[in-house]
Structure 1
Amino acid sequence: MELFSRSWAALRKAVAELPDEDFARPSGCTGWLVRDVVCHLIIDAQDVLITLVTPAETEPTRDTVTYWDIVEAPTGDDPLDALTVRLAAAYQEPGLLRFHLDDVGSAAGRAAELADPALRVSTRGEVLTAGDYLSAYVLEWTLHHLDLIACLPEAADPPAEGLARSRELLEKIAGASFPASLSDRDALLLGTGRRRPTEAEEAELGDLAAKLPFVLG
């Protein structure tokens, strides 16, 4: 849960430090600009708040790893994805996006710090402990941090411990290990299809290359 807080704080700080012109740059999420990623983060923060105040009485059905499913690659037809792009454009001024993320994001961060890790919560029709739910979100924050800075070489990277934990989670979710020669960042980018492997990387990946990408949902 501490790693959730560190990863989320680093991501929000990265957004807060972006110049206005960077919001119109491409992100690492196919088809989305940086502003679209930031808008998605606002929706994510709302989901965190909603989940942490939605207690469940039944036994957990998912944990940190099984929270995630491997799904088909998006086609661009998802109504929520289209809504995110339209909503991001409606903000018009980057400062409004920054303000909304800071407002809702800070509340989500405080709620996470106050949550009992053993509390059972309900989300997406499943039940998890709050601790497992927040731990699963380390992967979400880390991947979207990489999306945010994909075309912004001066921006700060996600925390190293978040990258390492996210790689570990992705390997468990996929049931596969990436070569030790790959950095945590590269393993996440290649593993989730955020960039294609070079010839050398493809050789290192071996049979695993044919299974990529692992799209999470």
Structure 2
Amino acid sequence: MDLFSRTWAALRAAVASLPGEDFAKPSGCRGWLVRDLVCHLVIDAQDVLITLVTPASSALTHDAVTYWALSDALPTGDDPLDALIVRLAAAYEDPALLKFHLDDVGAAAGRAADLADPGMRVKTQEMVLTAGDYLSAYVLEWTLHHLDLVAHAPSVPGPPAEGVARTRELLEKIAGTAFPASFSDEDVLLVATGRRAPTDTESTALGDLAARLPFVLG
């Protein structure tokens, strides 16, 4: 849960440091501009707040790993929620308003996470898991989107190294496979999720695993 707080705080600080003109640049998330990605983070923060006040009394069904499902289909932008986020992001017009909304809702989500009992059972998307596992799953979300945010903004600090390492660990468990030790944690995340293509050297190191990529998380 402490790692959730650190990765979330780092991501919000990175958004706050972005110049307004960077919001119109592409992000590392397929089909989304930076402003679309930041709008998605607002929705994510709302989801965290909703989930942490939605207790469950039934048996646990998922953990931080099984929270995620794998798909072999890359997003096309046709999903209704994806399309809504693009329209909503454009409606903000002034990036300062989007920054303010993320800071406001995001800070509240961070406080709610700090106050949550990690053993408390919560329900989200027809899943029941502990608050601790739910917030651990979001370390992956924050870390991947932090990499998306800085994909074309090299002057903005990237995600905390411990969050990147934990996300690699989670991704390897989700995929049921380990990536070569020669890959840095960040390279694993970018290549495994299709955010960049592997180099020839990386493809050789991946061997048969290369044919399974990318791993699309949902």
Matched residue type, 2:128: V
Q: CA deviation at 1:73?
A: 2.1
Matched residue type, 1:128: L
Q: Which residue of 1 aligns with 2:110?
A: 109
Q: Which residue of 2 aligns with 1:68?
A: 68
CA distance in 1, matches of 2:144, 2:190: 8
Q: Which residue of 1 aligns with 2:54?
A: 54
Secondary structure, counterpart of 2:129 in structure 1: strand
- Maintained 8 Å contact 2:56/2:128: yes
Aligned length: 217
Q: Which residue of 2 aligns with 1:77?
A: 78
Secondary structure, counterpart of 1:35 in structure 2: helix
Q: Which residue of 2 aligns with 1:204?
A: 205
CA distance in 1, matches of 2:94, 2:114: 31
Q: Which residue of 1 aligns with 2:41?
A: 41
CA distance in 1, matches of 2:157, 2:75: 28
- Maintained 8 Å contact 2:31/2:76: no
Q: Which residue of 2 aligns with 1:143?
A: 144
4+ residue runs of structure 1 moved beyond 3 angstroms? none
Structure 1 range deviating more: 106-115 or 76-85: 76-85
TM-score, normalised to structure 2, is 0.99
- Maintained 8 Å contact 2:61/2:128: yes
Q: CA deviation at 1:75?
A: 2.4
Matched residue type, 1:170: L
TM-score, normalised to structure 1, is 0.99
Secondary structure, counterpart of 2:163 in structure 1: helix
CA distance in 2, matches of 1:115, 1:60: 17
Q: Which residue of 2 aligns with 1:20?
A: 20
Per-residue displacement from partner, 1:23-79 (whole Å, max 9, x unpaired)? 111100111000110000000000000000000000110001000000232222100
CA distance in 1, matches of 2:185, 2:107: 27
Matched residue type, 2:97: L
CA distance in 2, matches of 1:106, 1:74: 29
Which residues of structure 2 form unaligned runs of 5+?
none
Which residues of structure 1 form unaligned runs of 5+?
none
Per-residue displacement from partner, 1:175-213 (whole Å, max 9, x unpaired)? 011111111100000000001011111111111100000
Q: Which residue of 2 aligns with 1:6?
A: 6
Q: Aligned Cα RMSD in Å?
A: 0.5
Q: Percent identity?
A: 74
Matched residue type, 2:210: A
CA distance in 2, matches of 1:158, 1:46: 21
Secondary structure, counterpart of 1:31 in structure 2: coil
Report 1:173-192 matches (<5 A). Answer: 173-192=174-193
Secondary structure, counterpart of 2:113 in structure 1: helix
- Maintained 8 Å contact 2:30/2:75: no
CA distance in 2, matches of 1:86, 1:200: 40
Per-residue displacement from partner, 1:89-109 (whole Å, max 9, x unpaired)? 000000000000000000000
CA distance in 1, matches of 2:35, 2:174: 29
CA distance in 1, matches of 2:108, 2:8: 12
